[in-house]
Structure 1
Amino acid sequence: MGSFKGHVVPGTLFLMVGIWHMWCCVYRYVANPKTFRVKVWNSVPGFGGRLKYLELYTVVIGAFIDLCIELLYATHLRFFVGGELNPTHFNNFEHSAMLVMFLIFGLIALLSEKTSFLPLPEGALCLVAATAFCAEYVLFYFHSTSHKGLEGYYHFILVLLIGLCILTSIGGALIPTSFPLDLSCGIAITIQGLWFYQTAFTLYGPMMPDGCRLKDSEIVCRSGDSEVRGELLANFQLFAMVFGVLVAVTGSYSFMASRFGYSNYRALQTEAANLDRD
């Protein structure tokens, strides 16, 4: 069983990284489509380069803080009971393992970019990110906490979104010039962050469907019909998120194409027209 804070904290991290990834991906493409390359992380311009690695620091620091919450605060340092791992906190140990993978990804990316000890190409970093998402996928798919009913349905959707993050990250390594793959990765990360929020507000907050309630650390519904209504509501929530993110991406693309990429776009059109005449 999770908690409201336990979903909001990782949701915030995924949402911040996902929105930034989408914005930078669209900007880099409209600025110069011919030189576009997939990037697993994006630097922050300006400020004399002091915030260049802000995204990677956000991943590292955010994962570390969440790791401390899961491993130290939630368990109250009671790691072992009777010489064995405390079964009450198996889910916290599993969440910690997932967070360690994202922490490792951030550290590897920083070492690769800031030092000469681990110079990795962008494709390799994409695969490292895919590995972290794979760890997250395995965690939620083979969770020691038995997710059933409505709670299980929300986590099943989360697993699907994580799977999209894995596929788009691997695709970015295999096809490093693909704008759709890079943009899809940002969209998948953003929707995953939003879904963490939605799960928090629905299962542990004020948006619990009628006929369902939180009882003894489990989500129980009054009847099968109530559970089905809750699942249909989850489907609608997911559709609304996907629709909203796509509208936001389309709007940002139109804005940046008109402001930063118009001349390049016109040049490409002229070049294509010249080729057609030849």
Structure 2
Amino acid sequence: MGTFIGHIVPGLALALLGLWHAINTIKSYLTNGPGKFAVRFWFRDLEVISILSFSILAMLMQVLDFPSFHFAFKLDNFEHATMFIHVALFAGFTLYTDLTDSFDILSGFVGILASSVFGQEYFLLHFHSTDHVGLEGHYHWLLQLIVLVSLVAAVVATASPKNFTAALVLSISVAFQGCWFINMGFKLWDPAFVPEGCVMNLAKAGGNGMLGAVTCGSDEADFRARSLANLQFSWILAAILTFIALVCLKLARKSSITDRLTEYKKLHSKGSDSTITTEDLKQTNP
């Protein structure tokens, strides 16, 4: 994942997955109401199949050290591959429960597997073998905050399967992870977007440096770059929340209109029945 593409591709996948889940979670809540709402960690078979396929492909890419495509035992690559192992385990088990119609019985364990995905991600990011120092370390520290929120939300959603707030926070945090991955790809791995006063250190082959690590030429430049990262963190979250708020308003309005139409049809049907009954009575009793 230590490349521009290695951040953009999984980031885009996570962002789309999180937004997809957020929209469907809101729809489910408005359709079923608070009493019948149930947390879902997936909504379509194709979604689970895509996650499983992507995870297996990502593991192979890490083991084969993309883009060189040769087997190399690199700790950071195997740590990234291990994260995807837990994603593949979750997706594979979830798909099996759906194909065997046993999801209702095993939904609790599906939630545990979903929680383990974020738990292992946080664990491996926190104790990463690669020493993310400087600006790159700050970006990874902020990423850990997002993953921690995902972990807590997944645990709460598993323990309380009717908790709409936990389900929505989980979806938002997954989308946030994806957007932050994309942001890191540009800010740390594309020379055109590296903050002013900082440069990319392209590691030499066989060296101990880290490919694409960013260093700043002065304390002032480093402080400015970290402050910009904090602002990016807040701006991205604000953009996601704005989008979710608009979706909530639109779907709530649509749901309200549908409810009113349904109620009108029921009243109209009752009125028609009442009219027919009255006419029948008149004919029966002239």
1:230 and 2:225 correspond:
yes
CA–CA distance in structure 1, aligned partners of residues 107 and 260 of structure 2: 26
SS of alignment partner, residue 2 of structure 1: coil
* Corresponding residue of 1:221: 216
1:41 and 2:39 correspond:
no
Matches within 5 A, 1:1-278: 2-33=2-33, 34-43=35-44, 53-74=45-66, 76-79=69-72, 86=73, 89-115=74-100, 120-205=105-190, 206-215=192-201, 216=203, 217=211, 218-264=213-259
Query: What letter is aligned with 2:230?
Result: N
* Length, aligned pairs only: 251
* Corresponding residue of 1:271: none
CA–CA distance in structure 1, aligned partners of residues 16 and 117 of structure 2: 17
C-alpha spacing 1:26/1:117, structure 2 compared with 1 (3 Å) = closer
> Please, what TM-score do these two structures have when normalized by structure 1?
0.85
Deviation string, structure 1 residues 122-179 (Cα, Å, up to 9, x no partner)? 2321111110111111111111110001000000011111111110000001111111
Aligned partners of 1:113 and 1:119 also within 8 Å: no
CA–CA distance in structure 1, aligned partners of residues 260 and 122 of structure 2: 39
CA–CA distance in structure 2, aligned partners of residues 151 and 192 of structure 1: 16
> Please, what TM-score do these two structures have when normalized by structure 2?
0.82
Query: Is there any run of 5+ residues in structure 1 with no aligned partner, and where?
Result: 44-52, 80-85, 268-278
Aligned partners of 2:65 and 2:71 also within 8 Å: no
Moved more, 112-121 or 69-78: 112-121
C-alpha spacing 1:144/1:129, structure 2 compared with 1 (3 Å) = same
Query: What letter is aligned with 2:31?
Result: A
C-alpha spacing 1:90/1:166, structure 2 compared with 1 (3 Å) = same
CA–CA distance in structure 1, aligned partners of residues 42 and 16 of structure 2: 12
SS of alignment partner, residue 256 of structure 1: helix
Identical counterparts, % of pairs: 27
CA–CA distance in structure 1, aligned partners of residues 22 and 71 of structure 2: 41
Q: Which has the larger radius of gyration?
A: 2
1:181 Cα deviation (Å)?
0.7
Deviation string, structure 1 residues 216-257 (Cα, Å, up to 9, x no partner)? 332110011111111111111111111111111111011111
CA–CA distance in structure 1, aligned partners of residues 15 and 243 of structure 2: 14
Aligned partners of 1:13 and 1:62 also within 8 Å: no
Query: Is there any run of 5+ residues in structure 2 with no aligned partner, and where?
Result: 204-210, 263-286
1 or 2 for the larger relative contact order (CA 8 Å, sep ≥6)? 1
Deviation beyond 6 Å, 4+ runs, structure 1: none
SS of alignment partner, residue 199 of structure 2: strand
- Indicate the RMSD between aligned Cα atoms, in angstroms: 2.1
Aligned partners of 1:40 and 1:126 also within 8 Å: yes
Moved more, 117-126 or 228-237: 117-126
C-alpha spacing 1:258/1:94, structure 2 compared with 1 (3 Å) = same
